[in-house]
Amino acid sequence: MTTENPTDVVVIGGGIAGLTAAAMIGHRGRRVRLFEKAGDLGGRAVTQVKDGFSFNVGPHALYRDAAGIRVLAELGIRPQGRAPQPSGGHAVLGGVKHAFPSGFLSLLSTGLLTLPGKLETAKLLARLGALDPAPWQSTTVADWLASLTRRDDVRRLLGALVRLTTYGNAPDRMSAGAALEQVQRALASNVLYLDDGWQQMVGALRDAALAAGVAIESGVRVDAVEQSATGAIAAVRLADGTRLPCAAAILAVPPDDAASVLSGASRALLDGWSRAATPVRAACLDLALDALPVPRSTFGLGVDAPLYFSVHSAVARLTPGRGALVHVAKYLDPADRGDAARDLAELERFTNLLQPGWRDHVVHRRFLPHVTVAHALVTAERGGFAGRPGPAVEGAPGLYVAGDWVGAEGMLADASFASARRAAELCLRDVAPLSAAA
Ligand SMILES: Cc1cc2nc3c(=O)[nH]c(=O)nc-3n(C[C@H](O)[C@H](O)[C@H](O)COP(=O)(O)OP(=O)(O)OC[C@H]3O[C@@H](n4cnc5c(N)ncnc54)[C@H](O)[C@@H]3O)c2cc1C
């Protein structure tokens, strides 16, 4: 076994959380090394380019007024892209398309709701922005919606909005406070679809980390994090047996991966965190088309089925020439183990409804039957955001976790950004740099 020179901080995982934490700590003059086991950086924010079509891993939208944008700004990064306009989109009920009620006129004209349903929806949408999410953190989405309205049609529509903004399809478990925050964010300031996909952001984070002196190595797996008898971080061990002494380690990886590199009491604690986390999953059909059969049909949301359709290239630069990049997704119920053939058939039927004839235009297609969107549903039973663990790990000075399952702020990638920033702050505050110079 070889032992390398000590470093101040080792970051494990080269997704958004790891790159963010590394850049922030490196920026403050600490020696940082980052290890990513995959060949490429980015984790689930990676973008694959095929014949000029930029494929994110399923539909990805960056909230415009949330932790991610703020953390990126602190690092001098301004993501380039545009906000989708839901006007002209469809809401689908019972297999029939209706105007998506995105504003006053479409709400008035849509066949989705009866007149009393429209009036109630208008009233609720006007009220939603002013509601305080805090008292609803321990209430389920289902109970909250029932308290808002007795009308099934209005509840169904609001439930679809919750799915769209959170990816969560678990109204009996999801925290209403957390969902409300996300819906408010979407209604007030929308999202961005990024030009060239989320790789744009990954590349900018990598450059910020490199400029801050971080040493980045991809294709290198960390196998173990060693702690001293007091629990303090002592070293990490790489898959090839190399031992790297360090004062702090940030595990910016999924919860089961985080647990697997630890031992003793920290392992037991992280195993518990991993078991308590309910993954948010989706089935995704990503399509590159040479043209859109129905150019104006660029957005559809299932109201009585957990389905999503959006032409991301109608908004962001993702294709060569006049092709189209389309994301179709099914929000999976955590209680449902998923059935790939059934889910693919549903996604294809939904695509037929919104873009009849699409099959004649396929250049590339990719089906992801069961991807993890976020590693932890924000649940009412755990008290909403406050129930998520970390970033500090009790009993393990110098050990932190970061990711979309960590910390009390934000959902999806915003939770990864926010927990990475918090882990970096705590590490800078509480862990002294190693005095032994390399
Ligand atoms: C279909 C889909 C749609 C999504 N849509 C949105 C959206 O619209 N808006 C939004 O905000 N978010 C969205 N997300 C979520 C977003 O992609 C993630 O929250 C974010 O990318 C997670 O980043 P991360 O760094 O926390 O984790 P990851 O991206 O999972 O990164 C963890 C990294 O750690 C590496 N790793 C694990 N173990 C080790 C080890 N032992 N040694 C070294 N490396 C290791 C992994 O290879 C991986 O690269 C979506 C995700 C999916 C899948």
Task: Tell me the pLDDT tens digit for each residue of 130-165.
Answer: 999 999 999 999 999 999 999 999 999 999 999 999
- Residues 6 or more apart whose Cβ sits within 8 Å of residue 267: 259
Nearest CA to ligand 1 atom 53: 373
Give the type of residue at 132. Answer: D
CA 299 to chain centre: 20
Question: Measured between alpha carbons, how far is 217 from 236 in angstroms, rounded to an integer?
Answer: 14
Going from the Cα of 6 to the center of ligand 1, the distance in angstroms, rounded, reads 28
Question: Measured between alpha carbons, how far is 228 from 47 in angstroms, rounded to an integer?
Answer: 39
pLDDT tens digits, one per residue of 156-174? 999 999 999 999 999 999 9
Give the type of residue at 85. Answer: Q
374 lines ligand 1 (CB under 6 A): yes
CA within 13 Å, CB half, 182: 31
Mean pLDDT, rounded, for 187-212:
97
pLDDT tens digits, one per residue of 89-113? 999 999 999 999 988 788 888 999 9
Peptide bond into 6 cis (omega under 30): no
Q: Is the pLDDT of residue 436 over 50?
A: no
pLDDT band at 61, cuts 50/70/90? very high
Is 92 strand, coil or helix?
strand
| Six-digit token string for 56 | 């994110």
Nearest CA to ligand 1 atom 29: 43
Q: Which residues pair with 225 in a beta bridge?
A: 236
Rg (CA), the chain: 22
The residue length of the chain stands at 438
Any idea where the domains of the chain sit in the sequence? 7-45+200-277+379-430, 104-190
Nearest CA to ligand 1 atom 7: 60
What integer best gives the mean pLDDT of the chain?
95
Q: Which residues pair with 327 in a beta bridge?
A: 286, 310
- What CATH number has the domain spanning 104-190? 1.10.405
**CATH fold group of domain 7-45+200-277+379-430:** FAD/NAD(P)-binding domain (3.50.50)
**Beta strand 243-251 with 399-401: parallel, antiparallel or unpaired?**
parallel
pLDDT band at 435, cuts 50/70/90? low
Confidence (pLDDT) at 115: 92
18 lines ligand 1 (CB under 6 A): yes
Mean pLDDT, rounded, for 370-387:
97
Confidence (pLDDT) at 434: 81
Is 231 strand, coil or helix?
coil
